[in-house]
Structure 1
Amino acid sequence: MTTVDVNDLETAMTLTDAGTGAEAWVCRDTGAVLIRSDEVGEPAGPVPADVDDGDRYVPVPSARDLHLGQALVFDFVRAEIPSEYDAVREIFRRPGAYGRYSRLLDGLGLRDRWHQYRDERTRAALNAWCDDNGFTLAGLPA
């Protein structure tokens, strides 16, 4: 199996989710993560012209594709602070929700626990995505 670096894959997913128009792929042959972005340049050099060839390159999934957006927030709330579920649901009904959610977590002293939960779930989802696509994810903590 081809190896993909977890940090490179996380970075690519973050960039593609940032709304900047960035695109990213993983090369099936090398495991290299390729990024096309006007905002940050192309760290691994120019993206090959045949990047749309699904036999050679796999598009990097978005957080939404991996159910890591609001669904993850609500999973955390149900598991860690179920008494705040209705308040968080209300927070996410209006724009600027993540800022208000962060302030709520700060007030409850749970920001670090949220980050740990989010990071663990993100890496687990990326690991599963790699398995599904014939890659091995490298760089995961032991």
Structure 2
Amino acid sequence: MKPGVTVNLDDLLDALLCTSMDVAGDEAAYVSRETGAVHLWSSAADFDPLPEDIEDGSVYIAVPDKRELGLGQQLVFAFVDEHLGASAHIVHDFFRRRGAYGRFKDLLERKGLLQAWYDFEAAETEKALRAWGEENGLAIDPAPGKDAG
């Protein structure tokens, strides 16, 4: 599908953050298929009210969360396979219990790979959002400071 309306990447990243903090269905984000505007909703934050026709799928599309885009544990394991091959089993053990991301980041810091993780995560997140946008007829603005080509 050829992209149509343009969505600002920073707004879409904020929307992804909003939807990914959702633990009880209390956060949501939508993109207008007509204007590219991003609308956020949370039971815990004071956002502008959602448009009355927000449920109309022909006008708005719900922004997925990180898990739906493959940016949860799958992303961690992809990074681990690429950068921590010998320690992969340790990270897999982390994710069998609560607090896994904290232990994962502590390990990366000890190995001097924390910034590499943040860079990898940012690049993969942008790539996933651009693919999602394209699948849904949305063009994504280049990130600030990046060329459009």
Tell me which interval the TM-score lies in, with the shorter structure as reference length. over 0.9
1:65 and 2:65 equivalent? no
Count, aligned residues? 140
Ranges in structure 1 where 5+ consecutive residues have no aligned partner: none
Other-structure match for 2:33: 28
Normalising to structure 1: TM-score of the pair? 0.95
What is the CA distance between 1:24 and its match in structure 2? 0.6
Q: Any gaps of 5 or more consecutive residues in structure 2?
A: none
CA RMSD, Structure 1 to Structure 2 (Å): 1.0
> Percent identity, aligned pairs only?
38
TM-score (norm 2): 0.90
Q: Deviations over 1:51-94 (max 9, x none)?
A: 01000000001101100000000000001111111000001110
Q: Which residue of 2 aligns with 1:47?
A: 50
- Contact 1:105–1:111 under 8 Å retained in 2: yes
Structure-1 separation of matches of 2:124 and 2:77:
13
SS of the residue 2:96 aligns to: coil
Are residue 37 (structure 1) and residue 33 (structure 2) matched? no
TM-aligned CA deviation for residue 16 of structure 1: 1.3
Cα separation, 2, equivalents of 1:50 and 1:68: 29
Moved over 6 A (4+): none
Report the residue type matching 1:24 in the other structure: A
Does residue 100 (structure 1) correspond to residue 103 (structure 2)? The answer is yes
Deviation larger for 1-10 or 13-22:
13-22
Q: Distance in 1 between matches of 2:42 and 2:86?
A: 41
